[in-house]
Amino acid sequence: MRKKTGYSWHKIMPAVVTVMALFSAGMVFASETRELNIWTWGIYCPDFATTSFEAKYGIKVNCTFYHGNEELWAKLHAGHEGVDIVQPSNHMIHRFAKAGLLEPIDINKIPNYAGLSEGFKKADYNTIGNRQYSVPYTFGIMGLAYRTDIIKEPPTSWGDLWDERYKGHVGFSRNPVDACFATARYLGMDIADLDTDTDTKLETIKAKMRLLNPLLLKRFESLEEMKNLIATGDIWITSADDGMIHKMQLDGQPVEFVVPSEGCAAWIDQFAILADAPHKEAAYLWINHMLSPEMASRMIQKVGYMVVNRDASEDLPADLAEIMTYTDAETRRLVPYPTLDPKTSEKMVKAYQDVRGE
């Protein structure tokens, strides 16, 4: 593994982007049933978190998983009775809030919010007027990953996914935003510009993505599926989030993460409470629980993503800290996911469905 020097995530991400006590342990307003319903990504409800929360507060945690922000958007509009917490990424918060889906956050009910790195606190992406609609949690980037024991010359570009030498061993995200972002960057386009001349630009992106179809082994549904296909050697090169790759490296897998020369996407996943959530006080307890230094540190080591809690970020094991450090040149190539017009996002979803033949 190459030796990397530069800025660790908790120091560089803010540049790309007192409190009242909670009720005593186990105490929730009597008007609420003792359960909590969360819609989240598959990695954010680990057993150690739910078990410790249930033991501490006597509140049953029910987790339902989704695979992408657009899927979450569709699920919410299809019906979400009983759901309390969702975890969209930063670029989706304004859309969700303007649609009336989110409850403004009362920071006074989250004592552990004080432990967040300053650069992650109240930000433009989660604030409308004087109201804050989400709390940041984890952050990472979407780039390339490859098997170092199979591909001897490290890939440097998104274009390496289209290399005929890897035919039948290429992975790609099924997430339409990730897929369109990567393809657009390779074509020299900025996905943030898709709100103008949308149809023409998406046709160009679609044409390039169709050329990838015969080279693909799999468009993976989840990060766990991607990890398994890399581990078995079926996938040699793929688009990937850095967290899962960091974890595989720590486990001794022959895999490396690459920040492509054209740039790659940076994201910050959030906690948000739905406006009609039936268990709002339990939701605040969960968010505070997950932002504790202990839970945050365990999450880093469980999933390989960095968290916004400054104490957890600064006390990483040396081997993990080394893996999760990026060079100055790499950090300059990070591009935040843009907030697009919902109509543009819908067209992007449809474009990727067309490419997949659905």
pLDDT in tens, 34-78: 999 999 998 899 999 999 999 999 999 999 999 889 899 999 999
Confidence of residue 118 (pLDDT cuts 50, 70, 90): confident
pLDDT in tens, 175-201: 998 999 999 999 999 888 999 999 999
| Same domain for 150 and 135 | no
| Same domain for 170 and 27 | no
Residue 147 CA, chain-centre distance (Å), reads 22
3-state secondary structure of 153: coil
| Same domain for 303 and 174 | no
| Same domain for 28 and 72 | yes
| Residue 5 lies inside a defined structural domain of this protein | no
pLDDT in tens, 223-251: 889 999 999 999 999 999 999 899 899 89
| Same domain for 159 and 55 | no
| Same domain for 151 and 129 | no
- For residue 258, what are its two tokens? 């690459």
* Distance of alpha carbon 308 from alpha carbon 311, whole angstroms: 9
Q: Tell me the CATH number at 226.
A: 3.40.190.10
| Same domain for 111 and 68 | yes
| Same domain for 169 and 292 | no
Average pLDDT value for residue range 263-272: 94
| Same domain for 223 and 113 | no
| Residue 7 lies inside a defined structural domain of this protein | no
| Same domain for 346 and 251 | yes
CA-atom Rg of the chain in angstroms? 20
Q: Where are the alpha helices (DSSP H) in 85-132?
A: 93-98
Give the pLDDT score at 32: 58
- Phi-psi map region of 100: left, alpha, beta (phi>0 left; psi -120 to 50 alpha): left
User: Within 10 A of 180 (CB to CB), how many other CB atoms are there?
Assistant: 26
Give the pLDDT score at 352: 96
Range of 249's domain?
A: 141-265+336-356
The region of weakest confidence among 119-123, 186-190, 238-242, 289-293 is 119-123
On whether the CB atoms of residues 310 and 116 are closer than 8 A, the answer is yes
| Residue 10 lies inside a defined structural domain of this protein | no
On whether the CB atoms of residues 192 and 341 are closer than 8 A, the answer is no
Provide the whole-model pTM. 0.81
On whether the CB atoms of residues 84 and 37 are closer than 8 A, the answer is yes
On whether the CB atoms of residues 205 and 184 are closer than 8 A, the answer is yes
Tally the domains of the chain: 2
Phi, psi of 309 (to 5 degrees): -75, 120
Sequence-distant (6+) residues with CB within 8 A of 80 are 39, 274
| Same domain for 281 and 199 | no
The region of weakest confidence among 60-64, 95-99, 125-129 is 125-129
